[in-house]
Structure 1
């Protein structure tokens, strides 16, 4: 027998009663800690009192996993408990843990449809005691995203909404949205290890900032989240940046 949305929300409220705010003044933005990204974001990072949308570049499982772990890394670097609302039970907890999101920080809620999922996200955002609220939908119209944005404003709980690909295809980010930023994530070939080493190097993602309020779009090739939820520049780019810095020092 299906559970009604009010009953699910009531159950979520009971769970959230156990979560208390730490009472500390928290920073208004969550930086990536990577200059090429933070310098392109209008406030120097992701605003915590806002909605941010993420989509996989394609329906391929590799891109879907990359987008999910990109969200997990952001949530991992937030300050406290994380509410993750799902439509299907396909989250791989060990994978989230490898991206820095420990099981003890997660509160799961399962929704029957997109409407329930968006309602649960809104409830979590209005609680003000969470570090991040994460949800995965196929469809969310402008009024839906506006409600999430309004629920996030005035707090310090970051809202992360993953737009999944529909069966009929199309671009999940084509629908107008009130989100502060919109991201598209694709998997990329891993860096080869030195000759003689077995396996492959750290996973890589193509990270595209499709849209942001008050700023321009951009894209980067990044190494995937580590156990602290942090992305990294590929080693060759780090070496190139360091080399440029040494050249400038010699020129000076």
Structure 2
């Protein structure tokens, strides 16, 4: 569902007040109308910071969030800088989400503060398609610095929230300067007509979009081009005005 003219006018006014032009900003569409229609400009804004987290504190949802981020990064142009505190990413899985090893520059940092510093340097560099940083906590001050750095070069910044202690997860609900905030949870995979495991499915929750609307979607996981998909039974189904809402909270 496309935004009504009045709402779009209000969004444009907000963008002008904040010093950015909604019409002039470049976006990276997901290629799924029900998702892109919820995002100002019809896609994920380039030159902006976005937050992604798993729907739970477990490793499975955390892996889904990482693969979602990898899919976004795979569809951006240029090299990808991935900053992390532990070298525990599985490169073949990333490649299955479209992000081949030759495109990724890994930076192993000692703590969140170093990761954030590396992210900021990468975003300010300007020659990268995406900069991903795995952090447990993200303050408003740090997120503003990353947002400003991304705006200056047009690169996509992704703060991938990963928690190794349950107490750190509570920080995810705090306000940040990120343009969007996403939460990804694993669902049962797509059923096959023969024995085997079908394509993975995720519950993708857009729990915050600046000048946009929140919603959640049941989607098939990223393919080897980094693209999400609609489950076959939903392709021809009309979407309710409020999306597939399942009680998401910011």
TM-score, normalized by length of structure 1? Answer: 0.82
Distance, in Å, in 2 between the alignment partners of 1:43 and 1:105 is 27
1:1-40 paired onto structure 2 within 5 Å: 28-40=26-38
Q: CA deviation at 1:154?
A: 2.7
Contact 2:137-2:172 at 8 Å conserved across structures: no
Q: How many residues align?
A: 215
Partner SS for 2:30: coil
Q: CA 1:62–1:205 in structure 2 vs 1: closer, same or farther (change >3 Å)?
A: same
Q: CA deviation at 1:172?
A: 4.2
Distance, in Å, in 1 between the alignment partners of 2:170 and 2:229 is 27
Q: CA deviation at 1:174?
A: 1.1
Contact 1:165-1:171 at 8 Å conserved across structures: no
> What's 1:184 paired with?
183
Q: CA deviation at 1:168?
A: 3.2
Match among 208, 212, 217 for residue 214 of structure 2: 217
Q: CA deviation at 1:127?
A: 0.5
Larger Rg, first or second structure (1 or 2):
1
Q: CA deviation at 1:51?
A: 0.1
Residues 28-77 of structure 1, C-alpha deviations (whole Å, 9 max, x = no match): 11000110000110111111110000010112121011000000000000
Contact 1:51-1:180 at 8 Å conserved across structures: yes
Partner SS for 1:53: strand
Contact 1:55-1:184 at 8 Å conserved across structures: yes
Distance, in Å, in 2 between the alignment partners of 1:94 and 1:213 is 34
Moved over 6 A (4+): none
Structure 2's unaligned 5+ residue stretches are: 1-24, 239-250
Contact 1:83-1:133 at 8 Å conserved across structures: yes
Please report the RMSD computed on the Cα atoms of aligned residues, expressed in angstroms: 1.6
Distance, in Å, in 1 between the alignment partners of 2:190 and 2:166 is 33
Distance, in Å, in 1 between the alignment partners of 2:183 and 2:155 is 22
Structure 1's unaligned 5+ residue stretches are: 1-26, 242-252
Contact 1:164-1:172 at 8 Å conserved across structures: no
Partner SS for 2:236: helix
> What's 1:20 paired with?
none
Contact 2:122-2:131 at 8 Å conserved across structures: yes
Partner SS for 1:198: coil
> What's 2:200 paired with?
203
> What's 1:126 paired with?
124
Residues 132-176 of structure 1, C-alpha deviations (whole Å, 9 max, x = no match): 000000111110001000111132210001112351344342121
Distance, in Å, in 2 between the alignment partners of 1:237 and 1:31 is 19
After TM superposition, the structure 1 stretch with the greater mean CA deviation from structure 2, 169-178 or 179-188, is 169-178
